[in-house]
Amino acid sequence: MSTTSTSQKPEIFEELDPSPRLLMGPGPVDLYPRVLRAMSVPIQGQFDPEFRRYMMQTMALYRQVFKTANQQTFMIDGTARAGLEACMHSIIAPGDKVLVPIFGRFGHLLTEIAKRARAEVISMECEWGQVFKPGEIADAVARHKPRMVAMCQGDTSATVLHPVDEAGEACRRHGAILFVDVTASLAGNPFETDGWKVDIVAAGLQKCLSGPPGIAPVTFNERVVEILMHRRHIEAGIRPVDMVEGNGPIIQSNYFDLAMIMEYWDPKALNHHTEAASMLYAARECARAVLEEGLDKGIARHQLTSKALRAGLEAMGLGIFGDRKHLMSNVTGVVIPKASKSPDKVRAELLEDFGLEIGTSFGPLHGKIWRIGTMGYVCRKANVLRCLSSLETVLRRNGYKAPPGAGVDAAYEVYDDAQR
């Protein structure tokens, strides 16, 4: 028997009205206002010629963002992880060897996805906050001759940016496919798909592109297309009569089948899925925003902002986590001072009293560092100064006394120097 009273009306809750926040964690971050506006324009169906034009424009824009001539440059609907799954499941056949260099949490995620694709996974791990020594990844590729090398460029959990070009060379030499996850780094750090011989790349919008999580830009070259064509399969009901099936093992996932999605994005317009139209508009506007600023100018803005933030944190007597030569320009790991009584209370007070979100950390770094993001629209002087002064105040209330004003003064100095 139901215990719900029939006289009680089911609740419909209040209209959404989220408190204003400044999102300075490791992502998501605040959206460019123009991206929010783009998401509110009317949607169209994915076969409307006008909408097809927006799709083709989005492809062309992301070729510029990814620095590639790859025809196959498009969106996977879903968060960044959807892009990773599509790229990995579409290439890896059961039993394939996959080499995963791990230097943070997201390397473990790539290992997990490869295992679920029933790969024989060879993982190599270095201490979080460090990168592999030159030659280490190339040696492992030569030794194991994997089908695929899967790695992150920037791992937000460890705040470091890994060189990718060495892996690109090694993969070409030994016939492997190089897959790189640039979710956390794209548009805030230099990246060259073609120049660094990266075969397949996946990203997300919610970091330096300052868009909403929910759509994943990917790009891949003809080496990947060849693999996909061997695994080509289209479900009955939409399969063209003259279609030739691939002779390789079928891709396990229908939704994440890059061979089909490729045909959905080309003039054949295969009816694979319903486009997440508002997300496509967001992706298109994010790319327009970063390209209008200029990729190099945007990267320089991220570099200057993190330099100012780090100078401020150090002037407050706080340590910066990770190998200084390899830090990402958009996420800073701050060593939690011993004198601060409760790291979680510091974050909670920043959020509740100052409306400012910073990030905690995972695995071996849990309780050791906070992570502060300076990405995309958030990556600005005013936010750095606001973050430093709020943090100084909250730390003082929680047992750690930084020299008053030193953080903001040091950050100002970096900005003043950059003007000279």
Ligand X SMILES: Cc1ncc(COP(=O)(O)O)c(C=O)c1O
Instruction: Give the footprint of ligand X on this chain (CB under 6 A).
Output: 27, 79-81, 106, 152, 155-156, 181, 183-184, 204, 213
The Cα angle at residue 294 between residues 164 and 49, in degrees rounded to 5 = 95
DSSP 3-state assignment of 179?
A: strand
Give 138's contacts (C-beta < 8 A, 6+ positions apart): 166, 167, 169, 170
The CB-of-264 to ligand X minimum distance in angstroms stands at 21
Report in angstroms how near the CB of residue 365 gets to ligand X at its nearest: 14
- Residue 395: closest CA among 284, 316, 329: 316
207 vs 232 by CB, closer to ligand X: 207
Element of type H or E holding 345? helix 343-354
**In angstroms, what is the minimal distance from the CB of 86 to ligand X?**
12
Q: Residue 32: helix, strand or coil by DSSP?
A: coil
**Residue type, position 386, single letter:** R
Shortest Cβ distance from residue 348 to ligand X (Å)? 21
Q: Please, which residue, 182 or 408, has the CB nearer to ligand X?
A: 182
Rg (CA), the chain: 23
* Nearer of residues 210 and 390 to ligand X, judged by Cβ: 210
Number of helical H runs and strand E runs in the chain: 13, 13
CA-based end-to-end distance of the chain: 76
Cβ-based nearer residue to ligand X, 321 or 412: 321
Side-chain-facing half-sphere of 40: CA atoms under 13 Å:
5
Residues 6+ apart with CB under 8 A from 118: 92, 94, 95
> At 268, phi and psi to the nearest 5?
-65, -25
* Least separation in angstroms between CB 27 and ligand X: 5
Element (H, E) at 301: helix 295-315
Nearest-approach distance from CB 185 to ligand X, in angstroms? 7
Nearest to ligand X of 103, 412 (CB atom)? 103
List all residues 6 or more positions away from 3 whose beta carbon is below 8 Å from its beta carbon. Answer: none
Question: At CA 90, angle to CA 84 and CA 96, rounded to 5?
Answer: 100
Q: How far is the CB of 412 from ligand X (least distance, A)?
A: 30
H or E stretch at 89: helix 80-91
Residue 213 or 248 having the CB closest to ligand X: 213
Q: How far is the CB of 25 from ligand X (least distance, A)?
A: 10
The nearest distance, CB 157 to ligand X, in angstroms, is 7
- Residue 221 or 330: the one with the smaller Cβ distance to ligand X is 330
Q: Which of 108, 107, 99, 106 is nearest to 136 (CA)?
A: 99
User: 176: which residues sit within 8 A by CB, 6+ positions away?
Assistant: 99, 141, 145, 146, 147, 148, 149, 170
Q: Which lies closer to ligand X via its Cβ, residue 183 or residue 332?
A: 183
Question: In angstroms, rounded to a whole number, what is the distance separating the alpha carbons of residues 403 and 200?
Answer: 48
Q: Which is nearer to ligand X, 80 or 369 (CB)?
A: 80
Token code pair at residue 408? 């903001």
- 286 vs 385 by CB, closer to ligand X: 286
The H or E element spanning position 292 is helix 277-293
Q: How far is the CB of 395 from ligand X (least distance, A)?
A: 26
